[in-house]
Amino acid sequence: AQSVAQPEDQVNVAEGNPLTVKCTYSVSGNPYLFWYVQYPNRGLQFLLKYITGDNLVKGSYGFEAEFNKSQTSFHLKKPSALVSDSALYFCAVRDVMDSNYQLIWGAGTKLIIKP
Amino acid sequence: DSGVTQTPKHLITATGQRVTLRCSPRSGDLSVYWYQQSLDQGLQFLIQYYNGEERAKGNILERFSAQQFPDLHSELNLSSLELGDSALYFCASSVDGASGETQYFGPGTRLLVL
């Protein structure tokens, strides 16, 4: 069965420091992996995705994520955090060979950037 | 702005009532997804439609139903409402629902059942 885990409910980072939001997944075959961000009282916004190719994926707002097949991880990173990055972050996965088009979502990680 | 619109933004109703949530996908998108986000259960996939046909079903209650119309807008009908149905309901759309596609989310409808 497919699953995705975001092991941290909350991550606290000082402004200007690098940030990492963790995501691990489990699928039978190869994964499609996504990161979304949700600001308060807003819908989810797409940040980036891994489909195939380069393991380092660059996305919106200076975020990037690295696909690590051996560790089944897709951690979200940013070199220098901004207070405006404070939001709820969701990781999602889908098995490439799964005929069900449903994305499996993580529980979300609240990112708090302190000035 | 993702291009996905949802109405209404807020809805307050009583237990036992029925409501309809509406979603218009991005121009050119054929696939629509419905999600429920509650405080204690995160983001739950409800149902997906592609070009008017149901494609995938998630954790959707029997009291809930949805459809996608010929103009591709979609409606989610929630009936016999219970307190526990209070949540944010999101609609998302993508071009054709293929595996690697990005889903683009609307701003959501906040439902409060009293």
Q: Measure the CA–CA gap between B87 and B89, rounded to whole angstroms.
A: 6
Which of B26, B37, B51 has the most A C-beta neighbours within 10 Å, making it the best mutation to test the interface with A?
Answer: B37
Q: Determine the straight-line distance between the first and last CA of chain A, rounded to whole angstroms.
A: 41
Q: Do A98 and B4 touch (CB under 8 A)?
A: no
Residue B62: partners with Cβ closer than 8 Å, 6 or more residues away:
none
Residue B53: partners with Cβ closer than 8 Å, 6 or more residues away:
B68
Residue A95: predicted pLDDT: 87
Q: Are A20 and A66 in contact (CB under 8 A)?
A: no
Q: Do B45 and A100 touch (CB under 8 A)?
A: no
- Compute the average pLDDT of residues B83-88: 95
Residues of A in Cβ contact (< 8 Å) with B56: 100-102
Q: Which residues pair with A56 in a beta bridge?
A: A66
Q: Measure the CA–CA gap between B6 and B108, rounded to whole angstroms.
A: 6
- Compute the average pLDDT of residues B44-49: 93
Q: Are B23 and B107 in contact (CB under 8 A)?
A: no
Given pLDDT bands bounded at 50, 70 and 90, which one contains residue B41?
low
Q: How far is CA A65 from the centre of its chain?
A: 7
- Compute the average pLDDT of residues A87-108: 88
Among the partner residues A44, A46, A96, nearest to B99 by beta-carbon distance: A96
Given pLDDT bands bounded at 50, 70 and 90, which one contains residue B103?
very high
